[in-house]
Structure 1
Amino acid sequence: MFRRRTPAVEPVAGWWNSRWLLALLVLVAAVPLILPETPPLIDLMGHMGRYRIELADPASPLRTTFFSFRWALIANLGIDLLIVPMSAIFGLELGVKLIVMAIPMITVAGMLGVARELHGRVPPFAYFALPLAYSYPFQWGFANFVLSMGLALCLWALWLRLTRLGRFRLRAALFVPLGMALYICHIFGWAVLALVAFASEVQRRRETGADWIPSIWHGGWACLPLAPPLILMVLWRSGDVKGGNADWFYWRAKWVYMLSALRNHDRTIDTFSIWLLFGLIGAGVLRAGTRLSRTGAIAALLLLIAYIGLPRILLSSAYADMRLAPYVVMMALLAMAPRTSSRTITQVLAVLGIAFYLFRLGVTTVNFERIDRLHAEQLRAIEHIKPDSRVFVMVELRCLSAWDSSRMEHLGAMAIVRRGAFVNGQWTAAGAQLLTIKYAPAKGFAEDPTQILRPGRCRSRRATRYPDKLFSLPHNAFDYVWLIDMPRRKWLAFEGLTPVWNGGERGILYRVTGPATAAIETPNGSETLSTR
């Protein structure tokens, strides 16, 4: 198995794998993110709050009173580092937007580069993989993760190219610093690069007729330039990050994560799309008119094994296995090429693949524009928040099982970005974050997920509840209470809280004006409030 050399039959050449088209496919990957003021990704706005704290004047209340930020060498620093020069040139919000816009382009470029190195030319099946640049982990806003995975694909393409050219010394010299940089961006990207590079080296030795044991030994030695981050990982893990692995082999969730690889907004469209990709992969496995790159097939198999073996929580990061699911699908598609030499059939497959890519980009563009409008309506509340204020946020959300999402979990952090305010909801995992919360008066009302409200049927027993949480709110610790996307029927007249803004039908901002005693359980819709 995997011994014979991959047939030296390149995919048929034509306009569909010309350089101008490949460059265009990379550029259009950014289209869905052009119009939204802020990329509408679930966690991204929480990260932007952290970037604002990172860049703040050390003498500002953000750093002296509310938060503590201390640089440390952790394997999750991609945009945290990039935003330093980008914000100096473009400002924080535009700088983040430009970086995030670049991530799908980097990912598409990496996919096309890998496909070209595996097959000699880009085969049409690779175009069906391109929509995975906007996979569910990207929609969640796992920014450093998806950046590192896009870079990992580009670096693997470079690894394969240098291997094909026989430039082994240059490869070793380049990948020592490149591997270190990728590890610092995010540990996942480095681990995946090491895994797929190992797969390619094992298969290269197998093609010479070597048995499995010598091939595996050779693969390990060949990947030594990627090993230095292991030293950094030992140092990191010997610090504060000592636990945080949980939820192993939850099979039902793993299947749902696979089905959610292209999850965006419309369940019917998204599930049809992923089943289409599953069907193509099935044709590849059965060799139904397709051939497989053995290097790509081994890489896909190793990623699948890693996906199965990963827990849901790894190194204090949630959804570790879910993050890898789209890349298993992606790698399987990149390993495939048509068996036929027919120009007509190949051209039809290419047109269908490109059409699928453009269709998915269109769906994403429309959804992002819709979410951006909803976010803009709620963000008008920030105009009524004074700089350096203290804001307690609660966000009305649907159950996690709902396919669609308002993506407002961390919308309140934009008050940190635009007003330098203290806002609850930042992550505080020991050793996994550069930021800690030091504003003692807000204890118990400060960290994630105190801002999240979900329906009773799907929330945990310890989850934040409304209006119960506001009954015990320490009024001396906050200046405002911001109920994001809260429907009008739930607006209440709280003693000590004065409404100063509402969003018409959803969302209301209160100013803290006195001590809390009780809540009057009636809608507070009669007062004239700003709805700007």
Structure 2
Amino acid sequence: MRHADWWERRWFCAFLIIVSATPLLWPQTPPLVDVPGHMGRFRVQLDLDHSEHLQRYFEFNWALIGNLGVDLLVEFLGPLIGVELAVKLIVIAIPPLTVVGLMWIAREIHGRVPPTIMFAVPFIYGYPFNFGFINFSLSLAFALIAFGYWLRLANSAKLGLRAALFLPISCLLWITHAFGWGVLGLLAFSSELVRQRDEGSDWRSSLLRSVLAMSSLGLPLLLMLLWRTGAVAGETDQFFHILAKLFALVATLRDRWLIWDSFGVGAAVVLIGASIFDKRLERSRKLTIPTVILAVTFFIMPARVFGSAYADMRLAPLMFMTAVLAIRVRCDGLTGDRWLAWLGLAFMLLRLGGNTISFAIADLDARRWLTALAHIPKGSAVATLTGDYCSERWAMPRHTHLGSFVVIRREGFSNDQWQAAGAQLLRINYPKARYFVDDRSTFIYSDACIAHTEEISERPLEYDHSPKAALRAIPRDAFDFIWMIDPPDYKMRARPGLVPVWRTHDAILYRIDKTFVAPVRSPITD
């Protein structure tokens, strides 16, 4: 009997699960771009009924949609421990749950945990997760665990039980996030196709039987038809933007440092390439074919699906995870297996260490900027303007939704909440804000960014947002404060009708002087 190597032992599996959460332990709030915006929605969700301040600005109505994973968990945990701690604990749980899913899949495919799992773990902190797509990321973790169970039942020849159990499992996964359900469908179909072929069925029979097996995952299709029809269908567009897709692959590990993040992707590409050309390595078809199907889906999927942006980009980290997890050394006990394990351990610890440092830097920046909240009275309306440098910076723009802390901690209004038909349960009801009502209005651009966009497009940026143009356009009767965070090409000083009450070298909070009268010169059409 073969003895388990160190990377297969229970203590090391437990270590992998725990260490995967390390980057998220120190920050007060998970430093993921969209997370403060989600937390603002959760605050409204929990407190709207007994907050007169929030009732001035927002509406919230429950409905069955395929995007409720963290929302439902916060509904349970928020009243017990508060919104901020609840969100932190939920987000911290996502990487360990994803590792559990990867381990389960590996055991079902390889019969053991291969050393290549350590090359897969860092891709949990990929572009989608760092962007703060937390419902999607939670659903992906659940989808991987569900796929492991799908494989276990198939390996145990319990196909009837599998069909019965995955009817409710698929619905719960869809409710968490519809993309997770879609991912499970792709993985399950492709693995079932391989299983049918391994049992001797021809291609036609294998396809038919695989489609039939998918019927146990089909119930959410009815929910999808009810959810995404009519006024809440949302736009599906931006097909075949090949350059954008190639960028998404290069940026799969995008966090803060271009060379470091690109090197991480390059290391995974080298490993995948080696598995193709090096005779000492081989690939499991039960994961290789799913990877190929994910890749094909990635390239044909539009960038926006039902109004959800970056739809294709969300598949990139999963493609790398399944691609490296499919790799194994041909003969057990060879020195190459152990070398691969040590290289994988080094890669994982270096990547997670980099994420930990990056997240700590982001947390320090956020804490410094959030000291402005002490100068904002409860219930205030704040127009938040955050710097956007287009492609001039690689670091994730983690400051773009900090304005939502006005909602979270001051029960006020900030213009950085997003509204997409059918995608969220929050509705903004503040017509006085006019154009400055949602997150489209929060971005301000550098002169170089605006000039570059005007050069390559028939029209400038969708919204004319140099810092000065934005300041002129804000309806000052609707807001009490203007909060500028990392504004490009802007000097932090007093302006007509704007009184600085707090500032740092890269941010400023203005109190709007309601007695000041100035001519209306808005470049933006309401």
Sort the TM-score into its range (normalised by shorter chain).
over 0.9
Deviation at 1:206, TM superposition (A): 0.3
User: Is the 1:110–1:157 Cα contact (8 Å) retained in structure 2?
Assistant: yes
User: Is the 1:100–1:143 Cα contact (8 Å) retained in structure 2?
Assistant: yes
Find the counterpart in structure 2 of residue 522 from structure 1: none
Identity within the alignment, %? 42
User: Is the 2:21–2:92 Cα contact (8 Å) retained in structure 1?
Assistant: yes
Q: Which runs of 5+ in 2 are unaligned?
A: 451-460, 520-526
Output aligned runs, 1:361-510, within 5 Å: 361-400=352-391, 402-459=393-450, 460-486=461-487, 490-503=491-504, 505-510=505-510
> Residues of 2 paired with 1:243 and 1:67: CA distance?
21
Deviation at 1:191, TM superposition (A): 0.4
1:179 matches 2:184: no
> Residues of 1 paired with 2:516 and 2:387: CA distance?
22
TM-score by length of structure 2 reads 0.93
Deviation at 1:512, TM superposition (A): 1.6
1:326 matches 2:317: yes
User: Is the 1:135–1:326 Cα contact (8 Å) retained in structure 2?
Assistant: yes
> Residues of 1 paired with 2:234 and 2:387: CA distance?
31
Q: Tell me: CA distance 1:367–1:182, structure 2 relative to 1, closer, same or farther (3 Å).
A: same
> Residues of 2 paired with 1:515 and 1:324: CA distance?
52
Which amino acid counterpart does residue 291 of structure 1 have in structure 2? E
Among 292, 303, 308, the alignment partner of 2:283 is: 292
Which amino acid counterpart does residue 130 of structure 1 have in structure 2? V
1:36 matches 2:37: no
User: Is the 1:495–1:517 Cα contact (8 Å) retained in structure 2?
Assistant: no
Which amino acid counterpart does residue 95 of structure 1 have in structure 2? A
Larger deviation, residues 50-59 vs 74-83:
50-59
Deviation at 1:165, TM superposition (A): 1.3
Task: Report the 3-state secondary structure (helix = DSSP H, G, I; strand = E; otherwise coil) of the residue aligned with 2:378.
Answer: coil
Find the counterpart in structure 2 of residue 149 from structure 1: 140
Among 160, 184, 192, the alignment partner of 1:193 is: 184
Which amino acid counterpart does residue 171 of structure 1 have in structure 2? R
Q: Deviations over 1:422-456 (max 9, x none)?
A: 11011111222211111111111111121111213
1:310 matches 2:311: no
Q: Tell me: CA distance 1:115–1:425, structure 2 relative to 1, closer, same or farther (3 Å).
A: same
Q: Deviations over 1:91-116 (max 9, x none)?
A: 11010000000011111111121111
Deviation at 1:240, TM superposition (A): 2.4
Q: Tell me: CA distance 1:487–1:399, structure 2 relative to 1, closer, same or farther (3 Å).
A: closer
> Residues of 1 paired with 2:180 and 2:48: CA distance?
32
Among 209, 214, 223, the alignment partner of 2:205 is: 214
User: Is the 1:43–1:142 Cα contact (8 Å) retained in structure 2?
Assistant: yes
Deviation at 1:176, TM superposition (A): 1.1
Q: Tell me: CA distance 1:226–1:191, structure 2 relative to 1, closer, same or farther (3 Å).
A: same
User: Is the 1:16–1:347 Cα contact (8 Å) retained in structure 2?
Assistant: no
Task: Report the 3-state secondary structure (helix = DSSP H, G, I; strand = E; otherwise coil) of the residue aligned with 2:482.
Answer: strand
Q: Tell me: CA distance 1:487–1:210, structure 2 relative to 1, closer, same or farther (3 Å).
A: closer
Deviation at 1:472, TM superposition (A): 3.1
> Residues of 1 paired with 2:79 and 2:85: CA distance?
11
Find the counterpart in structure 1 of residue 453 from structure 2: none
Q: Tell me: CA distance 1:155–1:398, structure 2 relative to 1, closer, same or farther (3 Å).
A: same
> Residues of 2 paired with 1:269 and 1:375: CA distance?
23
1:166 matches 2:157: yes
> Residues of 1 paired with 2:33 and 2:282: CA distance?
38
Residues matched between the structures, number:
509
Q: Tell me: CA distance 1:367–1:245, structure 2 relative to 1, closer, same or farther (3 Å).
A: same
Q: Tell me: CA distance 1:424–1:11, structure 2 relative to 1, closer, same or farther (3 Å).
A: farther
Deviation at 1:348, TM superposition (A): 1.8
Deviation at 1:401, TM superposition (A): 5.3
> Residues of 2 paired with 1:27 and 1:167: CA distance?
32
Deviation at 1:80, TM superposition (A): 0.9
1:514 matches 2:496: no
Q: Tell me: CA distance 1:436–1:140, structure 2 relative to 1, closer, same or farther (3 Å).
A: same
Deviation at 1:461, TM superposition (A): 4.8
Q: Tell me: CA distance 1:486–1:465, structure 2 relative to 1, closer, same or farther (3 Å).
A: closer
Larger deviation, residues 280-289 vs 206-215:
280-289
Which amino acid counterpart does residue 198 of structure 1 have in structure 2? F
Find the counterpart in structure 1 of residue 456 from structure 2: none
For the aligned residue pairs, the C-alpha RMSD in angstroms reads: 1.8
Among 111, 118, 129, the alignment partner of 1:120 is: 111
Deviation at 1:382, TM superposition (A): 0.5
Q: Tell me: CA distance 1:516–1:444, structure 2 relative to 1, closer, same or farther (3 Å).
A: farther
User: Is the 1:385–1:419 Cα contact (8 Å) retained in structure 2?
Assistant: yes
> Residues of 2 paired with 1:183 and 1:461: CA distance?
33
> Residues of 2 paired with 1:406 and 1:128: CA distance?
26
User: Is the 1:378–1:485 Cα contact (8 Å) retained in structure 2?
Assistant: no
Find the counterpart in structure 1 of residue 522 from structure 2: none
Q: Deviations over 1:338-372 (max 9, x none)?
A: 11333432122112112211111100000100111
Deviation at 1:243, TM superposition (A): 3.6
Among 267, 280, 285, the alignment partner of 2:271 is: 280
Which amino acid counterpart does residue 233 of structure 2 have in structure 1? K
User: Is the 2:68–2:175 Cα contact (8 Å) retained in structure 1?
Assistant: yes
Q: Deviations over 1:293-313 (max 9, x none)?
A: 111111101101110111111
Find the counterpart in structure 2 of residue 359 from structure 1: 350
Deviation at 1:411, TM superposition (A): 0.7
Larger deviation, residues 69-78 vs 478-487:
478-487
Deviation at 1:232, TM superposition (A): 0.3
Find the counterpart in structure 1 of residue 330 from structure 2: 339
Task: Report the 3-state secondary structure (helix = DSSP H, G, I; strand = E; otherwise coil) of the residue aligned with 1:509.
Answer: strand
Q: Which runs of 5+ in 1 are unaligned?
A: 1-9, 520-532
> Residues of 1 paired with 2:299 and 2:99: CA distance?
25
TM-score by length of structure 1 reads 0.92
Task: Report the 3-state secondary structure (helix = DSSP H, G, I; strand = E; otherwise coil) of the residue aligned with 1:396.
Answer: strand
> Residues of 1 paired with 2:473 and 2:281: CA distance?
64
